[in-house]
Amino acid sequence: MSHFDVVIIGAGAAGLMCAAVAGDRGRRVLVLDHQGQVGRKVLLSGGGRCNFTNTDAGAGHYLSRNPHFAKSALARFTPADFIAMVERHGIPYHEKKDGQLFCDDSAHDILAMLLAECKNGGVAIQSGVSVKQVTREGEAFRVETGDETFACDSLVVASGGLSLPKVGATSFGYKLAEQFGIPMVPPRAGLAPFTWGEKDRNTWERLAGISSSVRVTCGKVSFAEALLFTHRGLSGPAILQISSYWTPGTPVFVDWFPGEELETWLAGARKKRPKAVLRSLLAERLPRRLAAVLCTELEADEQLCRLSDARLREIAESLHGWEFLPGGSEGYRTAEVTVGGVDTDALSSRTMEAKAVPGLYFVGEVVDVTGWLGGFNFQWAWASGHAAGEAV
């Protein structure tokens, strides 16, 4: 039986970062991953160019039952720290929008960087290895695979969540937490498209492929981004963002004219162009087919001069707060993240160590910390992995 200071289960973003940091500290580290290729979600992210961080990654961009938990790790390993690593390895990158940083060439550059950092620290990595059993013997852990058994003083669970099962997502981390009596926040799909409810399907699926800049609201949370109609439902950045806050049976509201005083614009247009038809006017600001469907649903496909002040106000209010009741989300199949996971109340925010099980750590997506779209989840992976790597 081989002995390591640290065994890390999961060779994704958080696991490799943790391994690199621990190895650099002189710790003897082994990383195990059940996939034949390590870092598969890293390679798929950002359309193959890896949206590896966001320069605005603060705790306010994360969901968690404890919204303050992520502050410590994020403050001690910042986007600037990861960017410095990227630049040290000579990886060209660019800002796409709103602080989102992508590789110029390929996500392979980020994975190669992480593997190089691990190699420099003498980290051993075994892929295509499934962990069959984990037990605790005294203050050490025993990790059994199909062929070998490893002992370690520190065990780090970086096995991810349930999103994108096609790239190997499993419930391993959740089951291990439950085995050691660590509480869970029930997981659910996040950053996932919505599917149509029966009420909306026939009306809206004909607009598949059309997108528009909107503001989407669910409860007290809003996002101003693009919305995309699909044959299955609603997608696009605005929908993916709000989906992490949505619960079944709750409506979402779409403002088709965010930031505009629509009633004032409509009244002005009626005065200047009284014979203009509403759908033609809306089509100046919205895709033509979308404008036509909206007017049909509003039962207001007529000349502006025929619309009273009260009717214009009603139309404006509807277009600023159009209600959809999603039939559901597409679930883990297409979700980019998992909301929920290991309860942060059971972990140290500084080290990611389980309070009740010394030597056991949880990092990355397996923890109940979920970032917004746009590089925030990678920054959590780097920060939480770094925090544990400094502690193990």
All CATH 3.50.50.60 domain ranges of the chain, comma separated, are 2-189+333-391
Q: What is the pLDDT of residue 199?
A: 86
Note the pLDDT tens digit of each residue in 233-272. 999 999 999 999 999 999 999 999 999 999 999 999 999 9
Residue 210: is its pLDDT beyond 90?
yes
CA of 321: how far to CAs of 109, 257, 267, in Å? 43, 9, 19
Q: What is the pLDDT of residue 147?
A: 86
Nearest by Cα to 382 from 40, 70, 108: 70
Using CB atoms within 10 Å of the CB of residue 246, give its burial: 0 to 12 exposed, 13 to 18 middle, 19+ buried.
Answer: buried
Given a contact cutoff of 8 angstroms between Cβ atoms, the answer to whether 7 and 28 are in contact is no
Given a contact cutoff of 8 angstroms between Cβ atoms, the answer to whether 233 and 194 are in contact is yes
- Is the pTM for the entire model greater than 0.75? yes
Q: What is the pLDDT of residue 296?
A: 96
CA 221 distance to own-chain centroid: 16
All CATH 2.40.30.10 domain ranges of the chain, comma separated, are 194-329
Beta strand 51-54 with 100-103 is antiparallel
What is the CATH code of the structural domain delimited by 2-189+333-391?
3.50.50.60
DSSP secondary structure letter of residue 354: B
Q: How many CA atoms lie within 13 A of 84 on its CB side?
A: 5
Note the pLDDT tens digit of each residue in 101-116. 999 999 999 999 999 9
Q: What CATH architecture applies to the domain 194-329?
A: Beta Barrel (2.40)
Note the pLDDT tens digit of each residue in 299-341. 998 999 999 999 999 999 999 999 999 999 999 999 999 999 9
**Residue 276 is which amino acid?**
A
Q: Which residues of 290-327 are buried (b: 16+ CB within 10 A; e: fewer)?
A: bbbbbbeebebeeebeebeeeebeebbebbbebebebb
CA distance 63 to 299: 39
Nearest by Cα to 182 from 136, 120, 123: 136
